[in-house]
Amino acid sequence: MNCIFCGIADGSIKSQLVYEDEDVVAFKDLNPQAPTHLLIIPRKHIARLSEADEKDALLLGKILLVAKKLAQQFDLKDFRLVTNNGKGAGQSVDHLHFHLMAGRRFLWPAG
């Protein structure tokens, strides 16, 4: 499997890591869409949210808590946390990831 995010998670591809533990890695986005734009990924390869199952429930919850921790670490009062599911939704890397973005006004509806 040639997954760039798996390479970042295992350390074989260098990135600007901002958080890591045994289950989750977070790093700065190479093409930021906001002044703060971090990607949060599970170390476990899950291609997209629709492929997660019940055994991933704790991992998915942990990712949300890591997002909260990063928001506190970066002193983000207002932020957006989003994941895209599939190419039609804008997912460009087939590894589940969450975008934590802040530092500018976000419009709604998104997209």
Distances (CA, A) of 18 to 7, 50, 104, 105: 16, 26, 20, 23
What is the distance between the alpha carbons of residues 69 and 63, in angstroms, rounded to a whole number?
A: 10
What is the model's pLDDT at position 111? Answer: 67
Query: 107 phi and psi, to 5 degrees?
Result: -90, 160
Indicate if 99 belongs to the active site.
Answer: no
What is the distance between the alpha carbons of residues 105 and 93, in angstroms, rounded to a whole number?
A: 25
Kindly indicate the confidence band of residue 110, based on its pLDDT and cuts at 50, 70 and 90. Answer: confident
Tell me the whole-structure pTM to 2 decimals. Answer: 0.96
- Overall average pLDDT of the 61-73 stretch: 98
Q: Which of 37, 95, 97, 99 is catalytic?
A: 97
Averaged confidence pLDDT in the chain: 96
Query: Each residue of 82-104: pLDDT tens digit?
Result: 999 999 999 999 999 999 999 99
Give the bridge partners for 25, in sequence order. Answer: 20, 41
Q: Which domains does the chain have, with CATH numbers?
A: 4-102 (3.30.428.10)
